[in-house]
Structure 1
Amino acid sequence: MSDTNESGAAIGIRRAAEMAALFMIGDGLLGITQPERHVGLWRSEVKAVDALVKPFGGRPGRRRAYGLVQLGAGLLLASRLRR
């Protein structure tokens, strides 16, 4: 249990934010280092899913740039989660 008086709801929100930061950092790193493989993995026959990655298809530089944005945003979010 937490050593602070933080409510269960507040802890849940902080944990969700931490998970979002982890996802952004990891996805960003994969997008930077392996853009074509990463985009290819997420291509889908489900239109809503494919719409998210379609702008990056055949454009590894664009995916790398987006990966840098994700990485920075994830690190910023994580840094704001300190007690």
Structure 2
Amino acid sequence: MREADVRFDTADHDFTNKPTASCSNKYDVRSVGTHEAGHVFGLKDIYGAHDNLTMCGSSILYSTRARTLAKGDVLGLRNIY
């Protein structure tokens, strides 16, 4: 891979860089960016009992938990590469 583009849907979603519990209906831009970078590197969305992973299929409003990779995300990348 030489290049990849990621587009954030700002028409339907609001993003913030400093999420707090008072940020109603906003997503952490760094968490979403890390998740989308996972797709660039070949990871797929994960559903079920793995909501602590960056590649969890549904983002959580004003949560920063996906800013870094969890162990399962790292293992998935190691499996690919």
- Greater share of helix residues, 1 or 2? 1
TM score, norm. by length of structure 2: 0.27
TM score, norm. by length of structure 1: 0.26
